[in-house]
Amino acid sequence: MRNLKEFKPLWNFVKEYRIKIIIASIIICLCELSEILVGYLNGAAIEAIANMALKSALLYLGAYFLLNIILNGILSNIANSTLQKIESIVTRKLGFFTYEKALDLPSYAYEKISSGEIINRITNDSEALSFTFRDLLQIFSSLVGSSILIIYIFINSWIIGLEIIFFLLILFFIIKKYNPRLKEIHKERRREQDKFTSLVTESIRGVREIKTLGIKKNLIKDMIEIIKNIFKKSKSEIDIRKEFNLITRFLRSFLEVGVFMTCAILLYYQKTTLTFFIAMTYYVYRYMWLIENINSFTQSYQSVVVSLERINQILENRLYQDERFGCKKIKQVKGIIEFKNVTFSYPDEDIILNQFNLRLEPNKKIAIVGKSGQGKSTLFNLMTRIFEPTKGEILLDGIDIKELTEEELRKYISIIRQEPFIFNRTIEENFKLINSDITIDEIRKYTKLAYLDDYIMSLPNQYQTKLGEGGINLSGGQKQRLAIARTLAKESKVILFDEATSALDNGSQDYVKKAIDNLVKEHTVVIVAHRLSTIIDADIIYIVENGKIVASGKHKELLKNNDIYKMLYKGECLFDK
């Protein structure tokens, strides 16, 4: 019963089809009840023939034929087809909402869960529900029909009724024994499958690095190990299923032989009728079919429960809470960012920011520097709400960013990272994701500001050029400039550059620097940089040390008066040499 709770969230996807499901259920139950009559009519027809009652035999056979054609043929096919369509729709919806919910997970969740696991939950786990509704309904209707049938059997022979109940009780205890083992081994196999999908995803996306680093053999070795583990888990599952199937097969054989022998003895001593004996040769196979279906469904059911558990962990926020946003909007954003007494530490780590205070003014090029691990990039993670402060507030134009709607926060604060993510679409489509109504002329306006339009116009397909996985067809500097243009299309007021030029050559760096200089006129531009040569012309440079601002000023001033900045700058000069 504990596993049944995993099916409850499905109700939200199924309830709009409940009328169709109820009608289909009624039809299938009627078909099951007709099966009981079919067995009786079959037995009655044979007994009538034995008694030379031809008219009665033909009447029974005619009723048998009509029941099979109308209920078990036409109506049963309509009901199953209806359930199949509903099942397909619900499976698609479940995959879609799991995908949508995955996008609502906090960013740090993706540091805990592999991409392969998320992908498998959205795709394979949602697909595991295929045929579940029909299988459940068939089992349920069979149980209803078999329950009614057992009453008829008890009326005719309580001995045979007890035999059947005895065998069904044995089946129940067998299922109870094997279910936990099947469920656990299936969980283990899914975990290995997640690793497989993760490795495949990483390998496809990083194929160029794999080739240039010469690590293909190492990755193939890892893949072989994962496949071996999947095989081991699959083999264990097959062994358990084989053992389970063997026992249930013996059970079915004993049931068949036991019922037939009992019927033969009762008929010999004239304790039952030929009609009942013939009917039982039909009914016993119904119970054997029921055992077979319960056997099959029990095994697939464990797979479905595991899949639903994994999906529900996302749908019901069992692992991580969704990101939460406020309802406030800003009419005319200025772009003033303030940190007020902000304290923060990553999970299970020491405090990185301690009572941190900082005010970032618009229309200035602001740089934040410091030694590695001092919290520079953390400031950006907090401004974009990838992480939340332990204490304190972060304000945009005097409003706590927690109180802003998601649309406001994402619109007005953008970040451009060292390796910006570029979608595997055309250049135009990358901008259409930002604004579906944007025109080519508007796109060109932004790419000109980012010093990229001339390059794009030199391409054979210009703005219809497909960029490849992760923008693989662009150089590092071109990716940076495309990300800047894309951010301009968002009309972001606050633009954060996280090591945006650290990996670029001098030529690309100059282009990006010019693009950044253009932004300063109308935006709040904040740069975290290791290469101090890229920010020597900043309007103000803040130095972070031990989670606090320890100094600020212009390049020449800090170089003259601040030992930390002097050490950072000299270290870079030595490195460049």
Angle subtended by helix axes 440-449 and 506-520, to nearest 10:
110
Write the pLDDT tens digit of every residue in 213-249. Answer: 566 777 788 888 888 888 888 888 888 878 887 887 7
What pLDDT is attached to residue 576?
42
What pLDDT is attached to residue 547?
77
* Token pair for 418: 């060292």
On whether the CB atoms of residues 200 and 262 are closer than 8 A, the answer is no
For residue 429, which of 416, 445, 413, 440 has the smallest C-alpha distance? 440
Instruction: Identify the residue whose tokens are 């800003």.
Output: 330
Question: CB within 8 A of 472, min separation 6: which ones?
Answer: 208
CA–CA gap between residue 571 and residue 566 (Å, rounded): 8
The band of 574, judged by pLDDT with boundaries at 50, 70 and 90, is very low
On whether the CB atoms of residues 408 and 368 are closer than 8 A, the answer is no
What average pLDDT does this structure show over 40-61? 72
pLDDT greater at residue 98 or residue 392: 392
What pLDDT is attached to residue 500?
59
pTM for the full predicted model = 0.64
Q: What is the DSSP letter of 461?
A: T
Structural domains of the chain, ranges and CATH numbers in brackets: 2-315 (1.20.1560.10), 337-576 (3.40.50.300)
What average pLDDT does this structure show over 376-381? 81
The band of 290, judged by pLDDT with boundaries at 50, 70 and 90, is low
What average pLDDT does this structure show over 250-256? 78
* Token pair for 402: 């927690």
Share of the chain above pLDDT 70, in %: 77
CA–CA gap between residue 170 and residue 135 (Å, rounded): 22
pLDDT greater at residue 370 or residue 323: 370
Write the pLDDT tens digit of every residue in 297-320. Answer: 666 666 677 777 777 777 777 667
Question: CB within 8 A of 437, min separation 6: which ones?
Answer: none
What average pLDDT does this structure show over 542-552? 82
Residues forming a β-bridge with 383: none
Bridge-based pairing of strands 413-417 and 494-498 is parallel
Write the pLDDT tens digit of every residue in 121-146. Answer: 777 777 766 656 666 666 766 676 67
Could you please report the per-residue DSSP string of 199-213?
HHHHHHHTHHHHHHH
CA–CA gap between residue 48 and residue 54 (Å, rounded): 7
What average pLDDT does this structure show over 28-35? 71
Residue 467: exposed, middle, or buried by beta-carbon count in 10 A (0-12, 13-18, 19+)? buried
On whether the CB atoms of residues 423 and 467 are closer than 8 A, the answer is yes
pLDDT greater at residue 528 or residue 204: 528
DSSP H or E segment with residue 230? helix 216-268
Q: What is the DSSP letter of 38?
A: H
What pLDDT is attached to residue 2?
54
pLDDT greater at residue 576 or residue 33: 33
The dihedral region occupied by 99, where left means phi > 0, alpha psi between -120 and 50, and beta the remainder, is: alpha
CA–CA gap between residue 390 and residue 471 (Å, rounded): 36
Q: Is residue 1 over pLDDT 50? A: no
Within 13 Å and on the Cβ side, how many CA atoms surround 537? 7
